[in-house]
Each structure stands twice: as structure tokens, then as C-alpha cells.
Structure 1
Amino acid sequence: MNLERALDILKDKGYKYTGKRKRLLDIFLVEGRYLSAKEILEAMQEAYPDLSFDTIYRNLSLFETLEIIEGTEWDGERKYRLHCDGQTHHHHLICTRCGITKTIHACPMDTVIEQPSDFHITGHKFEVYGRCTTCLEV
């Protein structure tokens, strides 16, 4: 996902393009990893000192609904990153220390389950959590 595509999605769905939303998206673009709402709030507070968690959560929820960002949960906390634009189906390895992701090009669903005759699968999510080599050294 890039900034232009994210802003197009907002516009196409009738949502305003605000400075706060652009800044939130810029943070995701620069960081390139999963971020918590707290990390996002801290990154935005210099420019927006009165910004609240409510505003952050509302925008994260909107962005997730519009598939601008994707969320996951680990250690009891929801974390977010820009939605993948990849045209191919894939999954992720996620570092639980720094939030960086690596793509897994194989799909475990191919070997785990056959399409049942009495159930239509519309989607799935597979994530592997661990530590990247950089974080293992720390």
C-alpha cells in the first residue's frame, strides 16, 4: 500500500483527507512494520499534542475496515501495519520485538485442509511469530 492508494480509498469511500490521517499513514510508510496504537500516538504527539487515543483508535479501525491497514494481535495487544498490495496470496513471519515482517510465499492451507463440500471457505490468516536475526542479537 502506498500513500496515493490509501488516500484514493478514503476519497472513494467518502472520507475526508486530513492532516492527521496523512501523518498516520506516513508513520506506517516510514516504519514499514507492525505498530501499536501507543507507538502511533507517541509518533504523532509532537505535531498534534492534544491528540487522543480515541482519535487514533477510530482512524485505525476505519483504516482496517477499508483494508488500508491490517491488524494482528500478540502479547495481548493489537498491532497494525499497512495492508499488503501484493497480487499473490501470501502470509507473514512477524518479529515480536521490532514488528518487522517477512513474506511466506507458501500457503499452509494447501496442505492442511481440502475444500469441504458442505462449507465454503472465504478467507484465512496464517502468521508465524518469532524474532528476526537483528532482534536475536539484542
Structure 2
Amino acid sequence: MKVSDALERLKDHGYKYTGKREKMIQLFAEEERYIPAKEVLEHMQEDYPGLSFDTIYRNLSLFQELNILEETELDGEKRFRITCKTNSHHHHLICLSCGRTEHFHTCPVSETTIADQFPSFQVQGHKFEVYGTCGPCSANN
């Protein structure tokens, strides 16, 4: 997702444009990895020294609600990344060393299989993540 698209989504849902929100979204747009809230706060404090974790978490929650950010949990900590640019169904490979993500479009989950085994369960979506070490991180070890 582009920064301009994210800001437009905020506006379309009646939320104010602020420099803080743009800077947060810009950080995620520049990264190809999941980022913890603590790192977002550290990055933001360069320009906004009085910024609190509450403000960071409120905005991260809003961005996630508006599908601007995606969330995962690594090492017991929530991390966020900008929503993928692709609209096609896909899943992620996530490097445990650097947090970088890659898409893969093969889906290991068949909704037909789930429906056969659990006929009363109505699937509304799913998420599949594979954790490991990317090529550059593997080469450095």
C-alpha cells in the first residue's frame, strides 16, 4: 500500500490527517518487515519527543482496523507491517532474524477440506505464516 492510499483511507473513514500519522505510515511503507511498537515509538520520538506508547498503540490499532497495517506476533510481541500491495490471495514467509517478509501464493489451506471436516463452521478467512531465516541472514551466520 502506498502512503497516499493509506492517508486517503483515513480521510474516507472520517479521520484527520496529521503529520504523526503520515510519519508512522511512511515508516511502514519504507520497510519490508514487521515492526514492533517500541521501534515505531523510537523512530517517532526523533520528531515528536513527548509522544507516548498510548498514542502509538491507538494509531496502530486504527491502522489495523482500516486495513492499512497487518499484524503478527513474533517472540510474544505484536508486530506490524503495511498491508500488502497485492490483492491476490497469498501468505508470508517471515525471517526470524531481520523480520523481512516475502509473499508466496501457494495456499496450503483448502476451504473445501475444512467444510468437509467441519460442515457447520463458516470460514471467513485465514492467515498462514512460515517462519525461518531469509537468504541474506542465513549467509551472515
Pairwise same-fold verdict (TM > 0.5): yes
CA distance in 1, matches of 2:112, 2:39: 36
Unaligned ranges ≥5, structure 2: none
CA distance in 2, matches of 1:49, 1:30: 22
Give the structure 2 partner of residue 129 of structure 1: 131
**What SS class does the counterpart of residue 62 from structure 2 fall into?**
helix
The structural deviation recorded for 1:74 is 1.2
Q: TM-score by structure 2 length?
A: 0.92
The structural deviation recorded for 1:54 is 0.7
Q: CA-to-partner distance for each residue in 1:91-123, whole Å, 9 max, x for gaps?
A: 000011211101111001138934243222110
Give the structure 2 partner of residue 25 of structure 1: 25
Q: CA-to-partner distance for each residue in 1:12-56, whole Å, 9 max, x for gaps?
A: 110001000000011111122110001111111110111111110
Give the structure 1 partner of residue 82 of structure 2: 82
The residue type equivalent to 1:108 in the other structure is: P
RMSD between superposed Cα atoms in Å: 1.5
CA distance in 2, matches of 1:43, 1:114: 42
Q: TM-score by structure 1 length?
A: 0.94
Give the structure 2 partner of residue 15 of structure 1: 15
The residue type equivalent to 2:94 in the other structure is: I
The structural deviation recorded for 1:68 is 0.2
The structural deviation recorded for 1:129 is 0.8
Q: Which residues of 2 match residues 1-138 of structure 1 at below 5 A?
A: 1-110=1-110, 113-116=113-116, 117-136=119-138, 137-138=140-141
Unaligned ranges ≥5, structure 1: none
CA distance in 1, matches of 2:19, 2:127: 32
The residue type equivalent to 1:3 in the other structure is: V
CA distance in 2, matches of 1:87, 1:31: 19
